[in-house]
Structure 1
Amino acid sequence: MDAKGGRVQIGFQAGSNAVPTRDVQILTSGGRKISAHTAVLAAASPVMESILDRAQKRGKPRRVIRILGVPCDAVTAFVRLIHSSGCVSLDEEEEMGRYGLHLLVLSHAYSVGWLKRACEGALALRLTAEGVADVLLLARQCDAPRLYLRCMKLLAKDFAAVKKTEAWQFLQANDPWLELEILQFLQEAELRKKRVGRKLAYQRVYEELGDAMECLQHMYVGKEGSKKNHPCSSSACYRNLQLLIQHLAACPRRKACPRCCRMLQLLRLHSAICDDSTQQACRIPLCSHFKLRMQQQKEDSQQQQKEGKEEDDTWQLLVKKVKVARVMSSFSKRKGQEGVHEQFALCTTTARTSD
């Protein structure tokens, strides 16, 4: 290869019958001329195909494609990658990493789809806080959504370091709309993080309520000989439930006491989850009372006020979530991490049945 502007031969071996001879010249900014095949360029790039067709219609004896404003080595790598037809060697991968920004621009300008996607992946692997602002701007201009999203995620992850770079200061001074997009993305990312945190917190509450139901079930319904040896008997939840039940039995002001109200809500939740068909079968306190009360509420549902109906819907949703949490907890204890798909299917069936 001539590094000072001479001709560079790129393509298939001379004398090959598979493709035509090199009949087109790529002219770079440094005066370098790169010989290439018309058929290969036309097949790889519709933009180059259009340029070559116009040159042929004008009757020009020598076809020339000018690729200016880009380093000569980057153009050479671009033409070599086009002739590789997607089979990239290790040396070409290194060139793709070295001239990634220029190759992304060229592949976008000349509509070489596979090379554009490869450049997006190569640049995404080499992103740093110092250069992410420049790559983000280029990804936006070249319509590279995957690279754009990767840059945004890195910005959200390490925004404090990005703000100190000169590229970020240049972006603030020259592209306020892109700065606004970045700030909006950061705000949405923070909101998503908070939503996920709330969802995980709710899930932990449902799991704790499911454990409380298990402890109640074992405390009153389990066999006499197994009550003390069960794992629930040594848990903090089991001891707290015992204290709440003792307090409920001795408290003189149950309706106004927060601890009594909490215990009554747990007993009501158990009655909604309890699988006993008869009201007298369950030995947990107030289970039959709450079941009878729920039956009366169903019969008088037409007379309920709007606020009461919304409260009932919220309660039914809580019951459904606790049921799903109990099923998931029981399966995780039995099988560990095995049978994840079966657990999900069973939880879905349980949730639909509770409707």
Structure 2
Amino acid sequence: MNSQNYPIHFHTTRTLPEYDVFIHTSDGTRIPAHTSILASVSPVLENIIDQPRKHRSSERIIQIHGVPSDAVTAFVGCLYSSRCTEDEMDKYGIHLLALSHVYNVPQLKQRCIKGLVQRLTTENVVDVLQLARLCDAPDLRLRCMKLLTNHFNAVQKTEGWKFLTKHDPWLELDILQFMDERETRKETSRRHREEQGLYLELSEAMECLEHICTEGCTDVGPYHVEVNRERKPCSRFSTCQGLQLLIRHFATCKKRVKGGCWRCNRMWQLFRLHSYVCQQTDSCNVPLCRQFQLKMEQEKRKDDPKWKLLARKVASAKVMFSLSLPKRKRDEEMRVAIDNQGIRCFGYNEYCNTVLDDRCVSC
């Protein structure tokens, strides 16, 4: 094909000198340009321009092959104007990313990555993924992987995927591994959320236990504090109400044998967990708190590390939940917690007093 000069209108307000270099494309198009501008935006082009010529009288030529001439023209225009139009991104986004990577133009490369992310579809995602891997664009690669995972059935029907499975099995394996790891991460995250929910429920149970044993709630409370049976339970209705039912059962249950009643065992576990969480060693009003702590000091049990770990996780879940609340709500809860510190001044729950003393030794 015969060479032809391709005049280009650069979007710049600068007064430019005469052209002193020509860019040759694959179809023979010659794009005039200026060495000073090309060298200032691309260190790769600067090295090419600084290479010695065979004849000083010969014109400077830069060969850019492998992409359409229109894409090269758009690339040179972007070097001059430091911007890329939406129309150019629609037509030549993939080519511009490749050229900006090869010739080390980071600002243009970032614009191309952002533009291609916005234009990802199930039809072009495989091609863009291959280019992202070659052009060292991890953000673009990750977005491609996510789209592939979310719409894998549609992507499998495209020509790009069929070509990939025949000619690039390593990339196919990489995609399948990413999908498997993502499912594993989702399952792990789901289990973590469930565990955090359980720890948060235990933390609420600890707070309700202290609240009931300190202030009383509806018909359960300290023996010397008058309980208002018409008063509604605290804000955590379901937890507080269920715990009151459990306490009443625990106080009157006739199955004193350890392990004989699952409700009593659950209450026993709550008392023990509280003793690991409690920071008010001498002034705590929850039954058996002091006894459990003394027994921990006297005997080193094999299961103590597990209980301590559970206590740390319960405390951590409470802190994380508190941090996730809006600041105003968080401040309100903190004020309530501070105000409640001075209320704990009673001795024992009368209905638990006789039942618990004979069991604390065998726990």
How far the C-alpha of 1:78 sits from its partner, in A, is 0.3
* SS of residue in 1 equivalent to 2:123: coil
* CA pair 263-155 structure 1, distance change in 2 beyond 3 A: same
Any idea what the Cα deviations from partners look like across 1:234-270, whole Å, max 9, x if unmatched? Answer: 7222232233223333141432433222211101111
CA distance in 2, matches of 1:124, 1:292: 62
How far the C-alpha of 1:232 sits from its partner, in A, is 2.7
Correspondence for 1:9: 8
How far the C-alpha of 1:96 sits from its partner, in A, is 2.2
Structure 1 residues 22-171: aligned runs within 5 Å: 22-56=19-53, 58-84=55-81, 86=82, 88=83, 92-171=85-164
Whether 1:264 and 2:263 are equivalent positions in the alignment is no
Q: Which of 189, 197, 200 is 2:193 aligned to?
A: 200
Runs (4+) of structure 1 exceeding 3 A deviation are 9-16, 55-58, 223-231, 324-339
* SS of residue in 2 equivalent to 1:33: strand
* CA pair 40-131 structure 1, distance change in 2 beyond 3 A: same
* SS of residue in 1 equivalent to 2:274: helix
CA distance in 2, matches of 1:241, 1:148: 51
Q: Which moved more, 1:102-111 or 1:215-224?
A: 215-224
Alignment RMSD (CA, Å)? 3.1
Q: CA contact under 8 A between 2:128 and 2:144: conserved in structure 1?
A: yes
Structure 1 residues 294-313: aligned runs within 5 Å: 294-297=296-299, 301=300, 308=302, 311-313=303-305
Correspondence for 2:247: 245
AA partner of residue 8 (structure 1): P
Q: Which moved more, 1:100-109 or 1:228-237?
A: 228-237
Q: Structure with the greater relative contact order (CA < 8 A, sep ≥ 6): 1 or 2?
A: 2
* CA pair 226-142 structure 1, distance change in 2 beyond 3 A: farther
TM-score, normalising length: structure 2: 0.78
* CA pair 234-103 structure 1, distance change in 2 beyond 3 A: closer
CA distance in 1, matches of 2:307, 2:249: 25
Whether 1:255 and 2:259 are equivalent positions in the alignment is yes
* SS of residue in 2 equivalent to 1:263: helix
Correspondence for 1:186: 179
Q: CA contact under 8 A between 1:11 and 1:36: conserved in structure 2?
A: no
Correspondence for 2:352: none
AA partner of residue 199 (structure 1): H
More helix by share: 1
How far the C-alpha of 1:326 sits from its partner, in A, is 3.7
AA partner of residue 54 (structure 1): Q
How far the C-alpha of 1:205 sits from its partner, in A, is 0.8
* SS of residue in 2 equivalent to 1:232: coil
Correspondence for 1:349: none
AA partner of residue 297 (structure 2): Q
* CA pair 45-285 structure 1, distance change in 2 beyond 3 A: same
Q: CA contact under 8 A between 1:14 and 1:21: conserved in structure 2?
A: no
Aligned length, in residue pairs: 321
Seq. identity, %? 47
Whether 1:315 and 2:304 are equivalent positions in the alignment is no
How far the C-alpha of 1:204 sits from its partner, in A, is 0.6
For structure 1, the residue ranges without an aligned partner over 5 or more in a row are 344-355
How far the C-alpha of 1:334 sits from its partner, in A, is 9.0
Q: CA contact under 8 A between 1:206 and 1:322: conserved in structure 2?
A: yes
How far the C-alpha of 1:125 sits from its partner, in A, is 1.2
* CA pair 234-48 structure 1, distance change in 2 beyond 3 A: closer
Q: CA contact under 8 A between 1:5 and 1:32: conserved in structure 2?
A: yes
* CA pair 326-75 structure 1, distance change in 2 beyond 3 A: closer
AA partner of residue 253 (structure 2): A
* SS of residue in 2 equivalent to 1:319: helix
* CA pair 250-48 structure 1, distance change in 2 beyond 3 A: same
